[in-house]
Amino acid sequence: MCGIIGIVGKDAVAQRLVDGLRRLEYRGYDSAGICTVTNGQFGRRRAEGKLNNLAAKLAAEPLEGIVGIAHTRWATHGAPTEDNAHPHIVGDVTIVHNGIIENFKPLRDELIAQGRTFLSETDTEVVAHLVDREMQTAASPQEAVAAVLPRLHGAFALAIMFREHPDLIIGARLGAPLTVGYGDGENYLGSDALALAPLTQRIAYLEEGDWVVVGRDKVDIYDRTNTPVTRPIVVSGASGALIDKGNHRHFMQKEIYEQPVVVADTLQSYIRPLEMQVAMPQMDFDLSEVERVVIVACGTASYVGMIGKYWIEQMARLPVDVDVASEFRYRDPVLTGKVLGVVVSQSGETADTLAALRHMKANGVTTAGIINVPTSSMAREVDLLLPTHAGPEIGVASTKAFTCQLAVMAALSVNLARAKGKMTAEQEREIVGHLKEAPAAMNAALSHDDEIQKMAHTIAEARDVLYLGRGPDYPMALEGALKLKEISYIHAEGYASGEMKHGPIALIDDKVPLIVLAPAGPLFDKTVSNMQEAMARGAQVVLISDAEGLALAGSDAKATIEMPAVHPLIAPLVYAVPIQLLAYHVACAKGTDVDQPRNLAKSVTVE
């Protein structure tokens, strides 16, 4: 979540650090800060709120210096105020941190007992004090940091700078990502390769427990036992260009519109068009041996997992468990038998999902990952990487990553079905045909943008909204509700249609819009009955269905949105479009910050 960048440079760094923060803003945007060291002094600027506030401060009071660290924050400990913003300075030490120091309370008590005073409410400040305390006796910054790291429990990526040693920055990582960038006469630290892309493409990924001394001409990496190690330098390939919104008002809108193209790109690497077969990347294990599947993810990606459960169970007849990652490890799941563990994540850094992946691996589970960032921790750690090709997703609310994840989940389901002998070549050909139709059907769904925009004004006035769906449309209902919550701050819930009468129907009155996702098909009549039950109690229904469904039940609804008629397998990809557009236009009508909604961050690197 928080984003870190550090430069041991040959030229001025302040502007370059801010540019790097812009590329990390997706990780947090509640406050930001920068510190440089020059002429034996630290110079620091910090600001509450968006990065522009920090940029304005820097423009008014520029900072000199060719060595510096910077941070964009997503607060975990202490409100997003200027005092809590990083970098924190204690004595001759300044520090930026991503993660949570879980034992910060006893450490803080210990330091206070020694007469130290804290200026922030953060967990981070204890690290600055600990390093400063060690510096009183240590022979070098290296020695001080090596003494402090074993005392920290929890997760951290750190960049530490020293007033009296202005030519180095020390970085460390445990449970949060940190990369080293190799430049020409200067070197860098960054939360990800994207942040460093304009500076260098030559990147080394630190491993768990590593710490690093970054100098101008040299980088020394140590593992958790303080043994010098080398980590491979790779060419990141991350684009140095800043991604822009094109002609769109928001990144989210742009990303919704990109879906037909990026889903087609993604499908291209999972389909052999001539053979009409689904293809998978090379793997060194045999899918036919899989006895059960365990899917773990968070938020929107967890709904991909739930939809995957419907697909894999139906097509491959394999039992599937789906867990939200934050619960998975702690309920001590049974992982016996030949389990295929599947993680789903846009960033590949989500702390809970990463921890779940490691838990599965530690228990001997073969793992696959549906991941959008190919250089991420998860992408590097899974046994089988199943990449999505959504491209950088900037809007905090996931849209194109979600539909690309669905496309890959569909391909995985078909592969499992074939490997388990549950799908004939003829059936596979038919499914490939439907998958190939998905981008065009998504385009058709996009053509309803104007009418959805008009509808959004009514929904924007609601205090509560309910979404209903059955089968794979149930997770879609959850996703529709999550989208509304995330960006329009309207309380929304998704329910399995049949569950309404077991409680939620009590919420219904004529002020609660009820959005029903119901493509025509075997589940349609049942869902429409549930819709009627709600309408009998005054519900204002928006029915999203195809022409056949609307002909059967549309006249009863207050409003309708017509989707193209599609095979049930690709329906979630298509129905994603109206629920995203609806949330988007409701948010615009309410005037919220669509791309950077309050309290959220794009990449959730704390548990």
The catalytic residues are: 2, 602
Work out which of 99, 171, 471, 549 binds ligand HGA, going by CB under 6 A: 99
Separation in Å, CA 449 to CA 175, 264, 307, 430, 452? 41, 21, 25, 30, 5
Compare residues 73 and 309 and give the one whose CB is closer to ligand HGA.
73
CB of 177 to ligand HGA, least distance (A): 11
Half-sphere exposure of 391 (CA within 13 A, CB side): 19
Q: Which is closer to ligand HGA, CB of 74 or CB of 222? A: 74
Q: Round to whole Å and give the CA distance between 392 and 398.
A: 11
Footprint of ligand HGA on residues 64-83 (CB under 6 A)?
73-78
| Part of the chain binding ligand HGA (CB under 6 A), chosen from 94-102, 138-146, 213-221, 268-276 | 94-102
DSSP string, 343-407: EEESSS--HHHHHHHHHHHHTT-EEEEEES-TTSHHHHHSSEEEE-------SSS-SHHHHHHHH
**Euclidean distance between CA atoms 220 and 233, whole angstroms:** 13
524 binds ligand HGA (CB under 6 A): no
Single out the residue of 217, 232, 233 nearest to residue 184, CA to CA.
Answer: 217
Token pair recorded at residue 70? 């910077």
Does residue 158 bind ligand HGA (CB under 6 A)? no
The nearer residue to ligand HGA, 128 or 315, going by C-beta atoms, is 128
Give every CB contact of residue 358 below 8 A, 6+ residues apart in sequence.
381
Q: Find the shortest distance in angstroms from Cβ 130 to ligand HGA.
A: 15
Applying CB under 6 A, among 36, 72, 94, 98 the residue interacting with ligand HGA is 98
Q: Which among 418, 387, 442, 409 has a CA at the least distance from the CA of 277? A: 418
Question: Using CB atoms within 10 A of its CB, is residue 138 exposed (0-12), middle (13-18) or buried (19+)?
Answer: middle
266 binds ligand HGA (CB under 6 A): no
| Nearest one of 157, 122, 161, 146 to 31, comparing CA atoms | 122
Q: How far is CA 550 from the centre of its chain?
A: 35
- Between 194 and 588, CB nearer to ligand HGA: 194
Report if residue 606 touches ligand HGA, rule: CB under 6 A. Answer: yes
C-alpha span between 112 and 554 (Å, rounded): 67
Q: Considering only residues 124, 413, 540, 560, which one is a binding residue for ligand HGA as defined by CB under 6 A?
A: 124
* Count of CB atoms situated within 10 Å of the CB of 282: 5
Q: Kind and range of the H or E element at 589?
A: helix 571-590
# of chain residues touching ligand HGA (CB under 6 A): 18
- Of 77 and 116, which CB lies nearer to ligand HGA in the complex structure? 77
| Shortest distance (Å) from residue 30 CB to ligand HGA | 9
Task: Work out how close the CB of 349 gets to ligand HGA at its nearest, in angstroms, rounded to a whole number.
Answer: 11
Is 2 near ligand HGA (CB under 6 A)? yes
Nearer to ligand HGA, 57 or 97 (CB): 97
Which region, judged by CB under 6 A, interacts with ligand HGA, from 58-66, 119-127, 419-427, 500-508?
119-127
| Nearer of residues 104 and 310 to ligand HGA, judged by Cβ | 104
Q: Which of 25, 95, 37 is nearest to 63 (CA)?
A: 37
Q: Is 299 left (phi over 0), alpha (psi -120 to 50) or beta?
A: left
What letter would DSSP give residue 331? G
Among 36, 72, 94, 122, binds ligand HGA (CB under 6 A): 122
Q: Does 100 bind ligand HGA (CB under 6 A)?
A: yes
The least CB distance from residue 591 to ligand HGA, in Å, is 27
Q: How far is the CB of 131 from ligand HGA (least distance, A)?
A: 16
Nearer to ligand HGA, 77 or 163 (CB): 77
Q: How far is the CB of 98 from ligand HGA (least distance, A)?
A: 4
The yes or no reply on residue 205 touching ligand HGA (CB under 6 A) is: no
Under the binding rule (CB under 6 A), the answer on residue 1 touching ligand HGA is: yes
Least gap, CB of 398 to ligand HGA (angstroms):
18
What residues does 7 pair with on adjacent strands?
68, 188
What's the CA gap between 517 and 514, in Å, rounded? 10
User: Does 97 help bind ligand HGA (rule: CB under 6 A)?
Assistant: yes
560 is a site residue for ligand HGA (CB under 6 A): no
* Cβ distance to ligand HGA smaller for residue 2 or 195: 2
- Rounded to 5 degrees, φ, ψ at 105 are -65, -55
For residue 462, the minimal CB distance to ligand HGA (Å) is 32
Residue numbers of the site for ligand HGA (CB under 6 A)? 1-2, 28, 73-78, 97-100, 122-124, 605-606
